[in-house]
A and B are shown apart, each in its own frame.
Chain A
Amino acid sequence: MDLIAEITPSLLDGLKTTLLLFLIIVVITIPLGFLIACVRVYAPKWLSWIIQVYIYIMRGTPLLLQLMIVFFGLPLVGITFDRFTAAVFTFTINYAAYYAEIFRGGILSIPKGQFEAIKVLGIGKINGFRKIIIPQVMRVVLPSVGNEVIALVKDTSLIYILGIGELLRAGQIAANTYASLIPYAAVGAIYLIVTGLVTLLLNAIEKKSNY
């Protein structure tokens, strides 16, 4: 018990960084992924092709490698980020690619007839997309988006490689300091609490978007 009291402040400190990165990435990448999906579906072929290559690279290589390249590799060609910016940048381009593919599937799942009905009724393209298509896309993609959001909670631990003091690193340091497994168990419990809360939130959103 004493040990837990002892390590709690440093774990909570790590948790702060973990949550900060998580929130920033969720807020940036979901809209960005949607935008990329729209471009991929509606833009000219050459642009769509560039996006396909980008998505292939992001999904086809480990996120850990991408983090290393951005933080350790890019300085070799003169581009230097501080640790946290490097993490935000890498997670953004990586997760946006996954979301783009999820949203693309969502957009393509809407029957052509819905777009035709919007046209025949003379509803403006932008308004029709915003009020009629997007809500349907959201409903289709929510379970997959939820999967990615939960994966993101855990993936934030990868930034330990950049030496950022997030939750897992805080746990590892404590485990080494006290030669104990308890910090690892505590870290696991904290991840479970966070993902549990995120799951509850996602369920609530899913329920609200039902029609």
Chain B
Amino acid sequence: MGLKATNLTKQFNGIDVLRNFNFTIEAGEIVTLVGKSGTGKTTLMRVLNQLEKADNGTIAIDENYLCRETTEDKTEYVSSKERMVYNNQIGMVFQDYQLFPNLTVLKNCIEAPLDQKLLTKEQAIEKAEMLLTQMKILDKKDVYPSTLSGGQQQRVAIARAMMLNPKILCFDEPTSALDRDSSNEVGKMIESIASSGTGILIVTHDIEFAEKFGTRVVSSDEFLR
């Protein structure tokens, strides 16, 4: 079980980026997505995270659909309530992390589950502290993101995404701003997240990283067939 996308098609400025692309991420798997710039790797990730709309195809995580292919060669998105259910099954760590600069590290983590009324404040804080401990950044919980290094911000962003218990967690270029040691460190953290059953998708230019930590490497050459 995990994420399944079938017949995915997406045009960008009139050019096919994805054409009848079939793709899965199983629970606990680390899929690394490699390929040249501009081949649509990030677009695929953005489609899966509802930041772009697919033109055609079916996307689902377990039994929760985001969109379904119809007979008229179109895709139909599910209702906004169902999209919300799908949304919480998938998380994303942005290339530039996009922490909220006006909120402390802890508040960055607890805002989403509190806003969605998934946890009480006490539960949310407890969970955030556990995740921040796992990410080795608990000592920074009361500071603002601007005081953190890039690597530290990334770990906060991972903890923030994990607050919603996603079944699938996506990383856009997680090593682009890191040196080799830090890359290995974040790779190990990703492995430990996957070992608890979360499916991972990593978009990266870093072939060495992709092969070292990916349980499966997918090339963007497969997007167009």
A-to-B contact residues, CB < 8 Å? 111, 113-114, 116-117, 119-124, 127-128, 131-132, 135-136, 139, 211
Q: Which of B82-106 contact A (CB under 8 A)?
A: 84, 87-88, 91-92, 94, 96, 98-103
Q: Which A residues are in CB contact (< 8 Å) with B94?
A: 113, 116-117
Shortest Cβ distance from B102 into A: residue: A135
- A151 vs B200: C-alpha distance in the bound complex, in angstroms? 55
Shortest Cβ distance from A120 into B: residue: B92
Q: Is the beta-carbon distance between A111 and B98 smaller than 8 angstroms?
A: yes
What 20 new A-B contacts, CB under 8 Å, besides A122-B112, A211-B101? A113-B96, A114-B98, A116-B94, A116-B98, A117-B98, A120-B51, A120-B87, A121-B112, A121-B164, A122-B84, A122-B164, A123-B111, A124-B115, A128-B115, A132-B102, A132-B111, A135-B102, A136-B102, A211-B144, A211-B146
Residue tally, chain B, CB below 8 Å to A = 25
Shortest Cβ distance from A110 into B: residue: B101
Q: Is the beta-carbon distance between A132 and B49 smaller than 8 angstroms?
A: no
- A18 vs B51: C-alpha distance in the bound complex, in angstroms? 51
Task: Evaluate whether A132 and B103 lie within 8 angstroms (CB atoms) in the complex, with A113-B94, A114-B98, A122-B84 already known.
Answer: yes
B50 interface residue per 8 A CB criterion: yes
- A116 vs B42: C-alpha distance in the bound complex, in angstroms? 14
B37 interface residue per 8 A CB criterion: no
Select the residue from B51, B99, B102, B160 with max chain A CB neighbours within 10 A: B102
Select the residue from A117, A119, A131 with max chain B CB neighbours within 10 A: A117
Select the residue from A113, A122, A128, A136 with max chain B CB neighbours within 10 A: A122
Q: Is the beta-carbon distance between A121 and B111 smaller than 8 angstroms?
A: yes
Q: Which A residues are in CB contact (< 8 Å) with B88?
A: 122
Closest chain A CB from B63 CB (angstroms): 19
Q: Which B residues are in CB contact (< 8 Å) with A136?
A: 101-102
- A131 vs B103: C-alpha distance in the bound complex, in angstroms? 9
Give B61-90 as 1s and 0s: 1 = Cβ < 8 Å from A's Cβ atoms.
000000000000000000000001001100
B116 interface residue per 8 A CB criterion: yes
Q: Is the beta-carbon distance between A131 and B96 smaller than 8 angstroms?
A: no
Shortest Cβ distance from A121 into B: residue: B112
Q: Is the beta-carbon distance between B102 and A123 smaller than 8 angstroms?
A: no
Task: Evaluate whether A117 and B91 lie within 8 angstroms (CB atoms) in the complex, with A122-B112, A124-B115, A131-B111 already known.
Answer: no
